[in-house]
Structure 1
Amino acid sequence: MYFKLLSWCVSYVWRNKKSLILSSILFSVVLGIIPYFSLIISKKFINELSLFIMSSKEIPGYSNIVILLLAQVAIQTFSTGIGYLDQYLEKKNLSLLEQKLVIEMTSKLSKIPLLTYDDPEFHNHFGRINTNISERFWSPIRSIKEFIKTVLSIGSYTFILLAVSYKLIVLCVIVTIPLFFIQSRLGKNKFHFSIEVSSLMKEIRYIYSILTDRNYAKEMRAYSLNNFFLNRWSQKYLDHTGRTLSLEKKQYIIKMSTESATSVFYIFTSVFVLVVMRRIGSLQIGDFLIVNQALNNTQTALNRLTVIYSDLKVSLLYLKDLKVFFDLEEHLEAVCLSPEETSSTEYLSLQNVTFRYPTQTVCTLKGISFSINKGEKIAIIGSNGSGKTTLIKCLLGLYKEYQGEIRIMGEDIKHMPDDRLRKTYAVIFQDFLKFPYTVKENIYFGDVDSESSHSDSRVISASTKAGIHGMISNLPEKYNTYLGNYIHYGVDFSGGQWQKTALARALYRHSDILVLDEPTASLDSRSEMEVFKELLTNSEDKTVIFISHRIASARYADKIILLKEGEIIEQGTHNELVAKHGEYYQLYSMGEEIEVMNETIPC
């Protein structure tokens, strides 16, 4: 598994930024062999310096000392320069790699089935990978780079140690073996801990956002919720901090124990070096210090290898999470088939559509069947939880995991390419987007792919149909006025003005079907009815599907579909359904009585 992940990582970076790998390998080799030359020069310098100090007369060693000192400074300067250059090139290339990865990840997100996207587990998973993406990709390669540099350094130190005794190298390796397993275990514990607390961290970030986000400020103050959520945030934060510190405490104890053992080993080997060098008769001060330094550096480098191995395994485990995301199943490419023959007027049809969410045992939609003629205005009504929004997501092709058939002009939408299907619809959701850009941009975002996407005349036409042109004309910068204060200081629209802006965005789009998924839910029934009547007037050439849980506006539709618990219990015109004296009639009569009562209440 690890090798496959590493191969995938290296091949991806090689395809997109091979210069990053090549420069890293080159610098690793250079930085790996520099310590050897630095130690050799240091040894000569110390020996020359000791001879110079012990001598009672001037000797040529003075010039040698200066030359060796300059050589040492040159090597140190060169090493530092290479290190900084390596860091700069790495940072530069990682920023470009980050851009590439973000583009690919957001593109992947747009292709993942919405049903998968709605899954909380998916968002926990995505939250783990959606930070420092390029770092996640580069971390395994950085470990390899550090491995190359460290191995070369160990190799250079080995030449020095072999001149004394091979036993020094054997001792270093023996001491490193337990550290290898300890570091590996610590790395795994850290990774599994990050998965364990991912949902807790998600809640901590969410609570912090509602404490600081301006969109929550009014309700948080109105209900005096700040202290309540601040206490909850503190509890969750302390819980996370306590668990984190508990893990780190254990790791620090283990690390301190291993470092203490390493220090004892260093003292023992230093004495061993002193005895061996005295026995072989090469006990010069410079030789002893450099061999001792090489021994210490070798042990440090071997310990570093265990850390590199641990980091590599952890980074590959994180990378596995990332690969799982990239391997997620996408919408299958639609296979275009010849549309079935339909009547000359039938435009959109549903045949026995059934849908069930993966986490539920009961179907949300049960055998839904109806047809819509071109240009018809349809109202789909029902109480909350009746399946209205799920039905719309199926109609829009956002959910394709349904059973049955949905056809437009006889063509099954499962066989329509997504881009063509999207152009068929314009939609306003209940939680429509409020972009912090100009009024003009908020409208033409409805059709950014059109050749005339930035047409001012189309923007004005759409806003006029939505009944908002007059208000926009009175703004400080008219259509160039920014909305909200998130990016720029702009104008705050009321809820109704935002709804009309969203309607203008939908009308701006060149589409045959207009879908409104309860976008006026925050309005009272009379205001909703006025919006619906205005919409019918300005969308004569479009097929309109209007979703609501209210009866008042539905009377103006060409056809009304009443949903209850995922099933169609009645459908027909307003007059037809009233004449049946069924459930629609009861709801309508109740609604009428409420309106009359509201009218008779004195102000």
Structure 2
Amino acid sequence: MMMSHDEQESIESLSLLNVVRSFRYWPRIFQLLWKVSAKDLICFSILNLIQGFLPALSIMATQQLINNITSTQEKILGAFLFFIAVSIFFGAVSIYQSYFESLYQAKLSNYTNVIIMEKASRLTLADFENSQVQDQLKRVQTDSGYRPFQITKQIFGIASNLISLVSMISIVMIWNWWAALLLILIPVISFFSFLRIGRQEFVIQWKRAPKSRSAWYLSYLLTRDNSFKEVKLYTLGSYFVKQYRKICEDFFAEDKLLAGKRLKYSVVYKLIDNLSSYSIIFLAVISAYRGQLPIGNVVGIFQSISQVQGRSDSIVQQVLGLCQNNLFLEQLFSFLDIDSTERERLQERSEIKEINKIEFRDVSFRYQGKQQYALKNINFTLEQGQTVAIVGHNGSGKSTLIKILLQLYAQTKGQILINDLPIQEINDVSYQKRVGAVFQDFVQYEMPVRQNIGYGNIGEVDNDQRIAEAASNAGIDTLIENLPNKLDTQLGRWFEHGHQLSGGQWQRIAIARAFMRDADVYILDEPSSFLDPEAERDVFERFHDLIKNRIGIFISHRLSSVNFADQIWVMEEGEIVEMGTHAELMARNQTYARLYRLQADAYSTNVSAV
């Protein structure tokens, strides 16, 4: 899943060997490029290869034109027409290359973002709660819009420049072989100097991911409406801006240091490169003065030297950039390979069409990296027609139990049976389709009402009747009728014409979303957190009617609302310590009875005070 210690060291000690190793991803990148658009890839490849031959062809056309100035009119005309044809062809290739590049860049960027989103949608909740996975996701998301195309352009750019380099060095080599060798040798030496800078740049970018996420979160807090009220009240805005500015300043200081090192290497390299080029040009001029070279050939050599310098610089920078981008590829494919067999395993599991029975046998669970168990030896059986309420203090394990039941986490120990079949043998997707749930931290989609409810059963998102039934079951049919555009009313304040709801109305929307699903199991996790007592009673009564002949589970802190449940479970420190009806638990006079009386006394005291 994550990078090993050896891979971390590999990044820290980027060398020529590491660079060579990084090319192992080339087959996969070409597979990706082919999937994006085979036709555009072929056109892009051909145009880049042609582009590689054109500079040398242009130099030859110029050289021929100058050498034929003193020849016959027919030869001058022929050389001039050849020069024009090469120039026109050069321009046409450049225009079409830019055209295909822009199209292919857009397609590649979109495709890469889509496969990252698809992969993210298949991750587990444990993955999303893993900070290292979040850092990895941040790295690939940040660079996914441009890195893949950069890699593509660099690969073909290197090929094109190498063709140009070889062809133009051949022009110089015809005159003087050691001059051609000198033109090649200097860029090769500079490559190893810039490789060190490239390593430092990648390491810095690699280590920035956690701070980059922190900067994003600070910006999120200042621009999100549900956090703005508290930020404003506690005057946190200037503090968050200061923290954000500090991260940006740290990043800038690192960038400035690297830019200084790159500048130093660039000045030294350019000085040596220019001295060698001027020496070769001086020798060419002397040869022409002595009559050993035609003037056209001298001009061709001048142009070749200039082109060799430019192409050499480009190749060095492209190879260095490719080294860094290949390390990005390592991160991209490493992310895409997280649990890569999960889909295959799901396809091999049994489909489930109905949930009749749920059984937990000695189920325990602990979070990754924790020694203490969040759930310990949980045992129960639920069948169709049963309703259970789970109560207990915060942190007692209630929500964790629900996440295990939903298979958002896999149990650490014990066995979960669905219809007497181990849950590991059941396809997760088919199982989760049979469950409707409202989470404590339900989502408020900044979208129209239709989507907010219809997402509970995405296949019915355009079914007005089905959505209306779910809304009625949640008691918000009148609310929707009074909205300006009914089901098509935009909710929230993020987008134009948005209509903001109260917390209780948003919660009922989330409940309607759960009711939208024709499920066998319905779960409400703290469904009354935004509801007043009257609205809460209404929701529970509707819930009770909806779950007849189904399994119903709800979590609540308000013990006065759980009387209708067939059973009440009391949880403490990850264990179910009591089970029974309200009357049975009150008669036992243990944890439930004590909590119930505390809430009743508090309510009575408040009423008396009023």
Q: With structure 1 as the length reference, what TM-score do the two structures score?
A: 0.91
Matched position secondary structure for 1:3 = helix
Q: What is the identity, as a one-letter code, of the residue corresponding to 2:38?
A: K
Q: What's 1:415 paired with?
A: 425
Q: What is the identity, as a one-letter code, of the residue corresponding to 1:34?
A: L
For the residues of structure 1 that align with 2:374 and 2:77, how far apart are their CA atoms? 86
Q: Is contact 1:380-1:560 (8 Å) kept?
A: yes
Alignment map for 1:51-62 (pairs within 5 Å): none
Describe the superposition over 1:541-592 as per-residue Cα deviations: whole angstroms up to 9, x where unpaired.
4321112233232233211111111111112111111111111111111111
Question: Residue 161 of structure 1: CA displacement?
Answer: 0.9
Q: What's 1:253 paired with?
A: 264
Describe the superposition over 1:78-131 as per-residue Cα deviations: whole angstroms up to 9, x where unpaired.
222212212221322333334433333322222222211221111110111114
Is residue 412 of structure 2 the alignment partner of residue 402 of structure 1?
A: yes
Q: What is the identity, as a one-letter code, of the residue corresponding to 1:133?
A: S
For the residues of structure 1 that align with 2:209 and 2:238, how far apart are their CA atoms? 24
Q: Is contact 1:393-1:399 (8 Å) kept?
A: yes
For the residues of structure 1 that align with 2:170 and 2:261, how far apart are their CA atoms? 38
Q: What's 1:54 paired with?
A: none
Q: Is contact 2:183-2:277 (8 Å) kept?
A: no
Q: Is contact 1:334-1:414 (8 Å) kept?
A: no
Question: Residue 365 of structure 1: CA displacement?
Answer: 0.9
1:574 to 563, 582, 585: 582
For the residues of structure 2 that align with 1:338 and 1:67, how far apart are their CA atoms? 76
For the residues of structure 1 that align with 2:240 and 2:469, how far apart are their CA atoms? 46
For the residues of structure 2 that align with 1:113 and 1:471, how far apart are their CA atoms? 35
Matched position secondary structure for 1:555 = coil
Q: What's 1:532 paired with?
A: 540
307-316 vs 480-489, which moves further: 480-489
Q: Is the alpha carbon distance of 1:271 and 1:337 closer, same or farther for their aligned partners in structure 2, counting shifts above 3 Å?
A: closer
Q: Is the alpha carbon distance of 1:294 and 1:78 closer, same or farther for their aligned partners in structure 2, counting shifts above 3 Å?
A: same
Question: Residue 154 of structure 1: CA displacement?
Answer: 1.5
Alignment map for 1:137-148 (pairs within 5 Å): 137-148=148-159
Q: Is the alpha carbon distance of 1:263 and 1:85 closer, same or farther for their aligned partners in structure 2, counting shifts above 3 Å?
A: same
For the residues of structure 1 that align with 2:454 and 2:255, how far apart are their CA atoms? 48
For the residues of structure 1 that align with 2:193 and 2:242, how far apart are their CA atoms? 38
Q: What's 1:209 paired with?
A: 220
Q: What is the identity, as a one-letter code, of the residue corresponding to 1:33?
A: F
Q: What's 2:162 paired with?
A: 151
Alignment map for 1:193-232 (pairs within 5 Å): 193-232=204-243
264-273 vs 376-385, which moves further: 264-273
Question: Residue 153 of structure 1: CA displacement?
Answer: 0.9
2:503 to 495, 520, 525: 495
For the residues of structure 2 that align with 1:276 and 1:363, how far apart are their CA atoms? 85
Describe the superposition over 1:416-448 as per-residue Cα deviations: whole angstroms up to 9, x where unpaired.
112210121001111212223332332222112
For the residues of structure 1 that align with 2:196 and 2:48, how far apart are their CA atoms? 27
1:44 to 19, 42, 64: 64
Q: Is the alpha carbon distance of 1:335 and 1:74 closer, same or farther for their aligned partners in structure 2, counting shifts above 3 Å?
A: closer
Query: Percent same amino acid among aligned pairs?
Result: 26
For the residues of structure 2 that align with 1:239 and 1:102, how far apart are their CA atoms? 29
Q: What's 2:3 paired with?
A: none
Q: What is the identity, as a one-letter code, of the residue corresponding to 1:223?
A: Y
Q: What is the identity, as a one-letter code, of the residue corresponding to 1:586?
A: R
Q: What is the alpha-carbon root mean square deviation over aligned residues?
A: 2.5
158-167 vs 362-371, which moves further: 158-167
Is residue 136 of structure 2 the alignment partner of residue 125 of structure 1?
A: yes
Question: Residue 169 of structure 1: CA displacement?
Answer: 1.2
Q: What's 1:485 paired with?
A: 493
Q: What's 1:520 paired with?
A: 528
Q: What's 1:9 paired with?
A: 29
Matched position secondary structure for 2:493 = coil
1:27 to 43, 47, 66: 47
Matched position secondary structure for 2:553 = strand
For the residues of structure 2 that align with 1:175 and 1:240, how far apart are their CA atoms? 33
Describe the superposition over 1:449-473 as per-residue Cα deviations: whole angstroms up to 9, x where unpaired.
35xx533222222212211112222
Q: What's 2:550 paired with?
A: 542
Question: Residue 193 of structure 1: CA displacement?
Answer: 1.2
Alignment map for 1:80-95 (pairs within 5 Å): 80-95=91-106
Question: Residue 283 of structure 1: CA displacement?
Answer: 4.2
Q: Is contact 2:151-2:325 (8 Å) kept?
A: yes
1:427 to 437, 440, 444: 437
For the residues of structure 2 that align with 1:322 and 1:121, how far apart are their CA atoms? 14
Question: Residue 495 of structure 1: CA displacement?
Answer: 0.8
Q: What's 2:8 paired with?
A: none
Alignment map for 1:80-119 (pairs within 5 Å): 80-119=91-130
For the residues of structure 2 that align with 1:529 and 1:594, how far apart are their CA atoms? 19
Is residue 455 of structure 2 the alignment partner of residue 455 of structure 1?
A: no
Is residue 189 of structure 2 the alignment partner of residue 161 of structure 1?
A: no
Q: What's 2:361 paired with?
A: 351
For the residues of structure 2 that align with 1:64 and 1:404, how far apart are their CA atoms? 91
Is residue 602 of structure 2 the alignment partner of residue 594 of structure 1?
A: yes
Question: Residue 401 of structure 1: CA displacement?
Answer: 4.4
Q: Is contact 1:353-1:368 (8 Å) kept?
A: yes
Q: What is the identity, as a one-letter code, of the residue corresponding to 2:470?
A: A
Q: Is the alpha carbon distance of 1:204 and 1:248 closer, same or farther for their aligned partners in structure 2, counting shifts above 3 Å?
A: same
Q: What's 2:4 paired with?
A: none
Matched position secondary structure for 2:382 = strand
Matched position secondary structure for 2:359 = strand
Is residue 85 of structure 2 the alignment partner of residue 77 of structure 1?
A: no
For the residues of structure 1 that align with 2:312 and 2:243, how far apart are their CA atoms? 46
Question: Residue 277 of structure 1: CA displacement?
Answer: 4.4
Question: Residue 66 of structure 1: CA displacement?
Answer: 6.7
Alignment map for 1:458-473 (pairs within 5 Å): 458-473=466-481
Q: What is the identity, as a one-letter code, of the residue corresponding to 1:85?
A: Y
For the residues of structure 2 that align with 1:295 and 1:160, how far apart are their CA atoms? 10
Q: What's 1:342 paired with?
A: none
Question: Residue 497 of structure 1: CA displacement?
Answer: 0.8
For the residues of structure 2 that align with 1:107 and 1:315, how far apart are their CA atoms? 22
Matched position secondary structure for 1:516 = strand
Q: Is the alpha carbon distance of 1:312 and 1:553 closer, same or farther for their aligned partners in structure 2, counting shifts above 3 Å?
A: same
Q: Is contact 1:431-1:519 (8 Å) kept?
A: no
Q: Is the alpha carbon distance of 1:356 and 1:539 closer, same or farther for their aligned partners in structure 2, counting shifts above 3 Å?
A: same
Q: Is the alpha carbon distance of 1:285 and 1:187 closer, same or farther for their aligned partners in structure 2, counting shifts above 3 Å?
A: same
Question: Residue 276 of structure 1: CA displacement?
Answer: 4.1
1:182 to 185, 190, 193: 193
For the residues of structure 2 that align with 1:294 and 1:321, how far apart are their CA atoms? 39
Q: Is contact 1:397-1:414 (8 Å) kept?
A: no
Question: Residue 166 of structure 1: CA displacement?
Answer: 0.3
Question: Residue 250 of structure 1: CA displacement?
Answer: 1.5
Q: Is the alpha carbon distance of 1:537 and 1:595 closer, same or farther for their aligned partners in structure 2, counting shifts above 3 Å?
A: farther
Describe the superposition over 1:202-242 as per-residue Cα deviations: whole angstroms up to 9, x where unpaired.
11122122222333222221222111211111112211211
Q: Is the alpha carbon distance of 1:213 and 1:252 closer, same or farther for their aligned partners in structure 2, counting shifts above 3 Å?
A: farther
For the residues of structure 2 that align with 1:457 and 1:485, how far apart are their CA atoms? 27
Q: What's 1:317 paired with?
A: 327
Q: Is contact 2:434-2:520 (8 Å) kept?
A: yes
Alignment map for 1:548-563 (pairs within 5 Å): 548-563=556-571
Describe the superposition over 1:499-536 as per-residue Cα deviations: whole angstroms up to 9, x where unpaired.
11111121121001111122332445665444323422
Give the aligned length: 585
Structure 2 unaligned segments of length 5 or more: list them.
Answer: 1-20
Q: What's 1:299 paired with?
A: 309
Matched position secondary structure for 2:201 = helix
354-363 vs 13-22, which moves further: 13-22
Question: Residue 490 of structure 1: CA displacement?
Answer: 2.7
Structure 1 unaligned segments of length 5 or more: list them.
Answer: 52-58, 340-344
Q: What's 1:55 paired with?
A: none
Q: What is the identity, as a one-letter code, of the residue corresponding to 2:464?
A: D
Describe the superposition over 1:254-273 as per-residue Cα deviations: whole angstroms up to 9, x where unpaired.
22221122122222222233
